[in-house]
Amino acid sequence: MPNVMQQLFVMNMESLLREYAAFRAFNKSDSVINMRIQHQVLERIKQLAEQQHVPYQTLISSVLFSLANIEEQK
């Protein structure tokens, strides 16, 4: 059985963003986080977000949302 991170990478990024957009339509963010990550990782995330035509913070939020709800998706 693949682990959670492997499941996230297998997910289609477009469907991940669609699912998150649907969630956001009815639920507004109410928390702020601050984190440190390697510069190369952030640059890669920005590239991926640009390819999907979304802000990079939205991409990060959608991945975190999916990770937090992975059990419901099974």
Contact 28, 14 (CB under 8 A): no
Q: Which tokens sit at 4?
A: 């959670």
- Per-residue pLDDT tens for 39-56? 999 999 999 889 888 899
Please determine, for residue 1, whether its predicted confidence score (pLDDT) is greater than 60: no
| Chain mean position to CA 3 | 17
**In whole angstroms, what is the distance from residue 59 CA to residue 31 CA?**
16
pTM above 0.85, yes or no: no
The pLDDT value given to residue 3: 64
Q: How many domains does the chain have?
A: 1
Range of the domain at 58: 4-73
- Between 11 and 38, whose confidence is greater? 38
